[in-house]
Amino acid sequence: MDIRRLAQDIQAETEKIIVGKSDRIQMIIMAVLANGHILLDDLPGVGKTTLVKTISRALGCGCGRIQFVPDMLPSDIIGMRIFNQKTGDFELRQGPVMTHILLADEINRAIPRTQSALLEAMEERQVSIDGERFPLPEPFLVLATQNPVESESTFRLPAAQMDRFLICLSMGYPKPEEEREMLRKLGDDIPLDTVRAVTSAEELLQAQREIAAVHVSDAVADYIVALVGMTRSHDQLVMGASPRASRGLYRAAKVFAAMQGRDFVTPDDVKTLVQPVLAHRLVLSSAARFSGASTASVLQDVLDRVDAAPALKGERP
């Protein structure tokens, strides 16, 4: 399978609706092919939900949506057993999580107990209802959005859940020329029906299996370990990246290499992915926050301090 062509086809369909966000779209496609969950953390109205809907259509997979609200219960997500008076039995009513792509809209509006209902689904691709486990369809991906500005009726996502997102992105405001093109291109409506499916669940699974064969040299793997390790000892952080994060960076780099038409990972692939894969998993110290530091600046410092030269020598198979 031509992974590069597949990624280009998905991007071309997505850009029928989304204007001027090619780099973000590329990162989301990378995460999808890596079988990783995605968090879009940005202001209202910048196109987070529209982007998720558009990519879902291009992927040709089943899509479910949950609009998170404070009074939502875990059973509203995973489902529950309901007593049927006619048959005298408890029947399973599946929740919206039983789909390929779950749009979790404004995920930070749910209380922590409800947010935790997604932990098992995101990590193990299954849910437990009354002690019985139900596997989720393959592939299963959570594409979540959250608003970082509003504090009323919102709840901070726990670290355990943040760590389960492969990448975290912000859309950002469009440039004036991009906004002008958006107005001319979309007009009064968002023509989602013009987006065609260019792949399927089965083809995505096949792509994921083929990407597993992309070569990562020992030197490049050591570079990933060194980058992640430095976040754990950095003086501006109280929590560094987890082993799950290093696995995510490793997997993401393989996908990114395949999207460039290569069958091996380079240090530059890793550098490109450090910010979207690691930044949301880190916790700054109080002193660092007071001094105006950010996780992005800390990661740039890590990249500057970790020598990539050994990885450059052994990048090819």
The CATH number of the domain holding residue 295 is 1.10.8.80
Statement to judge: residues 308 and 159 lie in one domain: no
Q: Is 88 helix (H, G, I), strand (E, B) or coil?
A: coil
Residue 172: partners with Cβ closer than 8 Å, 6 or more residues away? 42, 46
Query: Which two structure tokens, joined as six digits, stand for 42?
Result: 């940005």
In one-letter notation, the amino acid at residue 28 is: I
Q: Give the 3-state secondary structure of residue 175.
A: coil
Q: Are residues 85 and 177 in the same domain?
A: yes
Helices (H), 85-217: 112-115, 117-124, 159-162, 176-186, 201-211
Is the same domain home to 269 and 197?
no
From 16, 10, 17, 13, select the one nearest 48 (Cα to Cα). Answer: 17
Residue with tokens 């800390």: 298
Last residue of a domain, one of 206, 226, 245: 206
Mark which of 206, 235, 268 sits at the end of a domain. Answer: 206
Residues 63 and 178 occupy one common structural domain = yes
Domain carrying residue 103: 3-206
Check residue 47 and give its pLDDT: 80
Separation between Cα atoms, residue 37 and residue 141, nearest integer Å: 5
Which of 206, 235, 263 terminates a domain? The answer is 206
**Are 101 and 141 within one domain?**
yes
Residue 141 sits in a domain whose CATH number is 3.40.50.300
Q: Which residues of the chain have pLDDT under 50?
A: none
Q: Are residues 221 and 194 in the same domain?
A: no
Q: Are residues 198 and 225 in the same domain?
A: no
**Looking at residue 264, what is its pLDDT?**
94
70 with 198, same domain: the answer is: yes
SS3 165: strand
Structure tokens at 279: 């930044």
Query: What length is written for the chain?
Result: 317
The answer for residues whose C-beta is within 8 angstroms of residue 50's C-beta and 6 or more apart is 17, 18, 190
Distances (CA, A) of 248 to 103, 127, 224, 252, 277: 21, 22, 10, 6, 7
Query: pTM for the complete prediction?
Result: 0.90
pLDDT the model gives residue 314:
54
**Strand pairing partners for 23?**
none
pLDDT digits (tens, 9 = 90+) for 43-101: 777 888 888 888 888 998 888 889 888 888 888 888 887 867 777 777 778 888 899 99
State whether 46 and 180 are in the same domain.
yes
Q: How many domains does the chain have?
A: 2
Do 169 and 48 sit in the same domain of this protein?
yes
Least Cα distance to 141 among 231, 33, 288, 51 occurs for: 33
Q: Where on the phi/psi map is residue 88: left (φ > 0), alpha (ψ -120 to 50), or beta?
A: left
Decide: 82 and 91 in contact? Cβ < 8 Å: yes
Under 8 Å between Cβ of 105 and 147: no
Going by C-alpha positions, the residue among 168, 300, 128, 161 that lies closest to residue 242 is 161
Whether 264 and 298 map to the same domain: the answer is: yes
85 and 233 co-located in one domain: no
Confidence (pLDDT) at 255: 96
Cβ 127 vs Cβ 64: under 8 Å: no
